[in-house]
Amino acid sequence: MQCLFCKKDDDRVINSRTSIDGLSIKRRRECLGCGRRYTTYERIEESPLRVVKKDGTREAFDRKKVLSGLMKACEKRPISTDMLENSVCEIERDIYNKFDREVSASFIGTLVMQKLRVLDMVAYVRFASVYREFKDISEFIDELKPLMSNAKKKQKQKQAVDKTN
C-alpha cells in the first residue's frame, strides 16, 4: 500500500477490524518511511452494478457518491464519519441484496433518505430538498409536517414517562 503522504510503499498494519456488515475490513496503517498513519478499507470485489439515472443513462455504482451525498447533508451536524460510513455500508448491502445488475437512482435516493431520517432530521430535510427538487416553500412545508407531528408525539411520550418517574 502506497503512503498517502510520502508515497513510499512500505507500511505496517497497526489494527484491523471487520465492518459491522462483515463486507469490508478497516485497516489502520503506519508508514515506515514518514511515520504517519492512515486508514484503508478492503472490500470484496463484486460484479459491477449499474445505476439507471432519471434520464435513462447508466453508470457504474459508486459508493463514494453515496458517502459524498451523506456528508453534504450532514455538514456541520453532530454526525461522525463512522456513522456515515456505516450507513453507506448498510445502503450498499441493501442494494446488492436486492439487485444483481441494475438499480435505479431513485431507489438509492430513497435508501439514503431513510438512513438520514434516522440519523438527523436536519440532514434529512437538506437531502430531501435537493433530492425531491422542491419547487416552492409549500413543498418544503409538506415534507416537514409529518416530521413535526412525529417530534410532538415523541415529546408527549417523554413527558408522560417523566411524570411517571
- Say what the pLDDT of residue 51 is: 96
Look up cell 410532538; give the residue. Answer: 152
- Say what the pLDDT of residue 46 is: 65
Provide the pLDDT confidence category of residue 138 given band limits of 50, 70 and 90: confident
For residue 73, how many other CB atoms are within 10 A of its CB?
26
In whole angstroms, what is the distance from residue 148 CA to residue 137 CA?
Answer: 16
The helix (H) or strand (E) run that includes residue 97 is: helix 81-98
Question: Mean pLDDT, the chain, as a whole number?
Answer: 88
Provide the pLDDT confidence category of residue 165 given band limits of 50, 70 and 90: low
User: End-to-end CA distance of the chain, in Å?
Assistant: 56
55: Cα within 13 Å, side-chain hemisphere: 2
Does the pTM exceed 0.85? no
